[in-house]
Amino acid sequence: MRALCLAALLLVAIPRPVLSQGAPRPPREVSGVPADLYDTVNLVTNTSWMSGTILWNVVVVVFKEGVTAVQRSRIYELVGAHAVYLDINDGPPPLFYVVVINPDPDACTVQQAIALLHAQPEVDDAFPEMVVSLDDDGASGGVPGTPVGGGRECPSGTGLLR
């Protein structure tokens, strides 16, 4: 009996796992992409590493067939995802996962995330979300009012993702 009481006292003194202390959970995959994600304030054009207009805080991920939700969650944690959206208009696989990450004025977080994602065996492809505007004749072009990238080179590594 004394050994049981001692064991119980020791267990009480052991810190609980981080999960029981409200650790952040990976984002849920939500069906449908919010329209405000494409607001001009989230766009940048002609960065040092990408010509054209892209979302400065979004990377689109295509997973290989058979990748589980648990595996996808691990990938989202790697890039510091804040939200994940599925485009309900995608149709049959492959599905495009729109992953929202930290913003950067030159979309350097997007560049770092793409490099990291390409190194993951579960990922089939990763790319920036390109945005175009169509004029009255149907010709594509840049989005008016979009900030131009600062021209700085993006740092190597993954330091901006956290």
pLDDT tens for residues 13-70? 433 333 334 445 668 889 888 989 989 889 998 898 988 899 999 999 999 999 999 9
Residue 122 pLDDT greater than 70, yes or no: yes
In a domain, 44, yes or no: yes
User: What percentage of the chain's residues is helix, strand, coil (to nearest 5)?
Assistant: 30, 25, 50
In a domain, 56, yes or no: yes
- Report the pLDDT value the prediction gives residue 16, as an integer from 0 to 100: 36
Residue 90 pLDDT greater than 60, yes or no: yes
- 107 vs 3 pLDDT, higher one: 107
In a domain, 17, yes or no: no
Hey, how many other C-beta atoms are within 10 angstroms of the C-beta on 158?
A: 15
- Report the pLDDT value the prediction gives residue 74, as an integer from 0 to 100: 95
How far apart CA 39 and CA 2 sit, in angstroms, is 66
In a domain, 154, yes or no: yes
Residue 6 pLDDT greater than 60, yes or no: no
- Total domains in the fold of the chain: 1
Q: Which two tokens stand for residue 43?
A: 């766009």
Helical (H) or strand (E) element with 141 = strand 140-141
Q: How confident is the model at residue 3 (pLDDT cuts 50, 70, 90)?
A: very low
> Which of 34, 161, 33 has the alpha carbon at shortest distance from 97?
33
In a domain, 89, yes or no: yes
| Domain extent at residue 62 | 25-161
In a domain, 8, yes or no: no
- Report the pLDDT value the prediction gives residue 138, as an integer from 0 to 100: 57
Q: What is the pTM of this model?
A: 0.77
How far apart CA 117 and CA 107 sit, in angstroms, is 15
In a domain, 15, yes or no: no
